[in-house]
């Protein structure tokens, strides 16, 4: 490219920033107004490490929104389109957040630290503004703020062995999305079994940014025996596994979708007693019938490098959907993509095309995930 991207002090650095630079980060994107490492110069090696060994990555940009106070649970339930009433202290939940029109505006992981303390570990949109405005407008007794908390992901089939070596064998008992408040050589942490890959792993929520470099180096050194290496949220693996990427697959302001249209319908509880933002709209959407669905796609042709999204999907010149993100999967030896398509188009329909960089590619729909 003939230009560089100038980024100023309005983009925040994560506490792991210096460590990732020292480890040779080659590319950043911007997520939640923060630098997010994209790769370290060896995308295929980083992908293989995630699939076969263990990778670590800086997800400080998965920023936390803390709800603290007597009405924290009430606020959490009112903004989440999922019944969270039976969530235990120490349990995490994947929760869709909708606006009043039933449009998805974020899909965070909710962590219940106590009856009066919750974190929303957010995807790429400004939920602190949203939650604090709602709390104030409703006169709730809850403080909404961003705590000094920065997740570090450790993912891959060897992640559990490494995390057990660092924290002890109790980590094997942690169930998916559950967490424990703990420490590592006096570095305060929340350790969770979670992460944005289907290869298994953990997230270390660092609770004091001062220790960013130290925590990175501790994990890096302990991981030597497992051939750990730095990586990033891996788009190829997430496409194969069918994980949702809010911002790539849907975004309220630019390509809005409701939770039913992005595969999160099973998480939305419309029949319970609790009111939540978007419930009335979602009831109507359900009654009227959902018109689109999240789908996988194979994109014919040579390996694609990706494209600006969303890319419209055409059938006989008529737009019937759009692809959010695509990549070449070396495991499937195909270009794969995730997008949203009209329910008028049947599964395995094959007379569809997209246009990338002025070239037309045939696409076929396929069920998600690509790889289980």
| Residues found near ligand THG in the complex (CB under 6 A) | 62, 94, 107-109, 121-123, 151, 194-196, 203, 243-244
| Encoded tokens for 40 | 């370290």
Pairing of strands 55-58, 229-230: parallel
CB of 300 to ligand THG, least distance (A): 27
| 110 vs 314, beta carbon nearer ligand THG | 110
CB of 216 to ligand THG, least distance (A): 17
Tokens 């302001």 sit at which residue? 253
CB of 197 to ligand THG, least distance (A): 8
CB of 225 to ligand THG, least distance (A): 26
Distance CA 92, CA 48 (A): 28
The answer to whether the CB of 299 falls within 8 A of the CB of 352 is no
Pairing of strands 187-192, 179-184: antiparallel
CB of 109 to ligand THG, least distance (A): 4
Question: What is the DSSP secondary structure assignment for residue 86, as one 8-state letter?
Answer: T
| 219 vs 244, beta carbon nearer ligand THG | 244
Return all residues near 221 (Cβ < 8 A) that are at least 6 apart: none
| 203 vs 237, beta carbon nearer ligand THG | 203
Its sign, for the CA torsion 156, 126, 148, 87, is negative
Return all residues near 194 (Cβ < 8 A) that are at least 6 apart: 92, 109, 176, 177, 179, 201, 202, 203
CB of 54 to ligand THG, least distance (A): 16
């Amino acid at each position: 490219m003939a230009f560089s991207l100038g980024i100023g002090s309005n983009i925040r650095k994560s506490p792991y920033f210096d460590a990732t630079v020292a480890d040779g980060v080659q590319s950043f994107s911007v997520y939640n107004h923060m630098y997010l490492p994209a790769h370290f110069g060896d995308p295929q090696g980083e992908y293989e490490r995630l699939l076969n060994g263990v990778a670590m990555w800086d997800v400080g940009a998965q920023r936390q929104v803390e709800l603290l106070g007597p009405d924290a649970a009430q606020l959490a339930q009112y903004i989440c389109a999922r019944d969270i009433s039976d969530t235990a202290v120490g349990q995490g939940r994947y929760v869709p957040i909708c606006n009043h029109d039933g449009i998805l505006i974020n899909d965070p992981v909710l962590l219940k630290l106590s009856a009066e303390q919750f974190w929303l570990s957010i995807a790429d949109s400004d939920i602190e503004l949203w939650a604090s405005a709602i709390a104030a407008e409703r006169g709730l007794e809850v403080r909404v703020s961003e705590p000094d908390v920065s997740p570090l992901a450790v993912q891959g089939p060897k992640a559990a062995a490494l995390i057990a070596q660092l924290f002890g064998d109790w980590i094997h008992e942690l169930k998916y999305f559950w967490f424990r408040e703990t420490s590592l050589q006096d570095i305060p942490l929340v350790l969770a079994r979670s992460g944005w890959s289907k290869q298994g792993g953990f997230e270390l929520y660092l609770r004091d940014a001062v220790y960013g470099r130290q925590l990175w180096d501790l994990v890096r050194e302990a991981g030597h025996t497992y051939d750990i290496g730095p990586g990033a949220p891996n788009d190829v693996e997430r496409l194969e596994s069918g994980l949702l990427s809010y911002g790539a697959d849907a975004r309220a302001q630019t390509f809005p979708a409701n939770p039913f249209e992005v595969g999160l319908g099973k998480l939305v509880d419309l029949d319970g007693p609790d009111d939540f933002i978007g419930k009335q709209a979602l009831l109507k959407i359900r009654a009227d019938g959902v018109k689109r669905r999240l789908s996988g796609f194979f994109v014919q042709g040579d390996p694609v490098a990706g494209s600006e999204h969303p890319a419209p999907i055409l059938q006989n010149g008529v737009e019937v959907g759009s692809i959010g993100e695509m990549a070449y999967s070396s495991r499937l030896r195909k270009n794969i993509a995730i997008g949203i398509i009209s329910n008028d188009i049947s599964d395995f329909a094959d007379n569809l095309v997209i246009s990338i960089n002025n070239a037309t590619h045939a696409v076929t729909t396929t069920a998600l995930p690509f790889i289980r």
